[in-house]
Amino acid sequence: MYGFEAMTFNIHGGYLEAIVRGHRAGLLTAADYNNLCQCETLDDIKMHLSATDYGPYLQNEPSPLHTTTVVEKCTLKLVDEYKHMLCQATEPLSTFLEYITYGHMIDNVVLIVTGTLHERDVQELLEKCHPLGMFDSIATLAVAQNMRELYRLVLVDTPLAPYFSECITSEDLDDMNIEIMRNTLYKAYLEDFYKFCQKLGGATAEIMSDLLAFEADRRAVNITINSIGTELTRDDRRKLYSNFGLLYPYGHEELAVCEDIDQVRGAMEKYPPYQSIFSKLSYGESQMLDKAFYEEEVKRLCLAFEQQFHYGVFFAYMRLREQEIRNLMWISECVAQNQKSRVHDSVVFIF
């Protein structure tokens, strides 16, 4: 019952909430990012990260380092922390934690299917999958020729099975079908996660509704911008938007007919939370939109830690770590390419 979580939450969730708040204290600060932005080489970055929580994961990596190695090792740390929390969690927290990884599962399914379409080696594809999205029968994806087979042979036994009902066809898999499948699956996943959080109720429902609604709205904007100038029709575009969020349903109607970034801006500026995001951009520009959205997301995720006795902190922590890994990836790329003047284009400070 909302308001009485303080009485019962700690029985099953207290230990893990303390663990995740401890992990949150290990997130990189602005001072850490300032040091990293001044590095000349990737070995300098490794040296600075050795004093952080990432130290044990990078210390044994031989020089010369590669940017993908930095990202892989940092992701490994996140995976280890997640697995520790998952194995300690009881219901419904364990289901909640599993929901957080379904997005990566969808990405892995699409990676394997696309790579197989391009005649790539399955082992090679499996090595590139996100570790949080792995499941037992993932390698069998390579034998499927269409979505019906994909579902019947592999996905029927995975958590993604319920999301397939909207996109099962017998058409052979090609680039456009795969893209529509990816976005349809993700839409169904977000809606399911939203309903699950609503069922949990209390502070979890309140905080997660806000975070997931923002995610749905951001997806809608990205789908709109990425589909401008492509063969995706307005109806197909509209079908990929989630059925919840601040933009649902009138904002979606406007976004579905947008043909350029300025029309997208016109549709979004009617909503006060997004007006502040678009006010940071000049007309016709979309380069800094990603950073503006990430900054807004980080602000909302940090606010989740201001309240206790809810599951939103777990979601917020995972997303903040993923943002941190994105920051490290960007800094590493700028250092490797000797473009340090551009490093602040995409780094989002968390604290």
Partner 1 sequence: MEVVDHKTHNLENGQAAEEEEEEEVDENANVLQFMDSMDAYLTLIHSLSSNLRQGWLELASARHSMGAYRVNTVLLDHTSHSAATSLLVDEGKEPHFTLCKWGSSGNEKLFLGEEQSSRDKSHPQIRHRGATQLSEEKTTSENKASCEIDDPVQKERSKSLSVFGTLVSPKLRDAQLSFETALETLVEIANRRSEMICAFDKVNKKSGGSKD
CB-based contact 67:336 (threshold 8 Å): yes
Least separation in angstroms between residue 175's CB and partner 1 is 4
CA 202 to chain centre: 24
- Residue closer to partner 1, measured from CB, 282 or 306: 282
Q: Which helix (H) or strand (E) holds 347?
A: none
- Residue closer to partner 1, measured from CB, 107 or 149: 107
Find out whether the peptide bond into 273 is cis, omega within 30 degrees of 0: no
| Selection from 253, 215, 213, 214 nearest residue 237 by Cα | 253
Q: Name residue 98's amino acid.
A: E
323 φ, ψ (degrees, to nearest 5)? -65, -40
How far is Cα 214 from Cα 225, in angstroms, rounded to an integer? 17
Least separation in angstroms between residue 328's CB and partner 1 is 11
Q: Tokens 């194995």 — which residue?
A: 87
- Residue closer to partner 1, measured from CB, 53 or 333: 333
Least separation in angstroms between residue 339's CB and partner 1 is 5
172 φ, ψ (degrees, to nearest 5)? -65, 150
- Residue closer to partner 1, measured from CB, 210 or 290: 290
Q: Where are the beta strands (DSSP E) in the chain?
A: none
What separation, in Å, do the N-terminal and C-terminal C-alpha atoms of the chain show? 33
Least separation in angstroms between residue 124's CB and partner 1 is 6
Least separation in angstroms between residue 75's CB and partner 1 is 9
3-state secondary structure of 135: coil
Q: Tokens 């499927």 — which residue?
A: 144
- Residue closer to partner 1, measured from CB, 35 or 286: 286
Question: Dihedral through CA 196, CA 246, CA 322, CA 174, nearest 10?
Answer: 80
Nearby residues of 329 by Cβ (< 8 Å), 6 or more positions away:
67, 70, 71
Q: Say what angle helices 93-117 and 175-200 make with each other, to 10 degrees.
A: 180
In the complex, the residues that contact partner 1 under the rule CB under 8 A are 68, 71, 107-108, 110-111, 114-115, 118-120, 124-125, 128-130, 175-176, 178-179, 182-183, 222-223, 225-227, 229-232, 286-287, 290, 326, 329-330, 333-334, 337, 339, 342, 345-346
| Selection from 38, 16, 15, 3 nearest residue 315 by Cα | 16
Least separation in angstroms between residue 117's CB and partner 1 is 8
- Residue closer to partner 1, measured from CB, 93 or 298: 298
Least separation in angstroms between residue 53's CB and partner 1 is 21
Q: Tokens 């529509």 — which residue?
A: 180
- Residue closer to partner 1, measured from CB, 209 or 222: 222
Least separation in angstroms between residue 85's CB and partner 1 is 22
- Residue closer to partner 1, measured from CB, 122 or 303: 122
How far is Cα 23 from Cα 188, in angstroms, rounded to an integer? 30
How far is Cα 241 from Cα 253, in angstroms, rounded to an integer? 10
Least separation in angstroms between residue 294's CB and partner 1 is 10
- Residue closer to partner 1, measured from CB, 122 or 200: 122
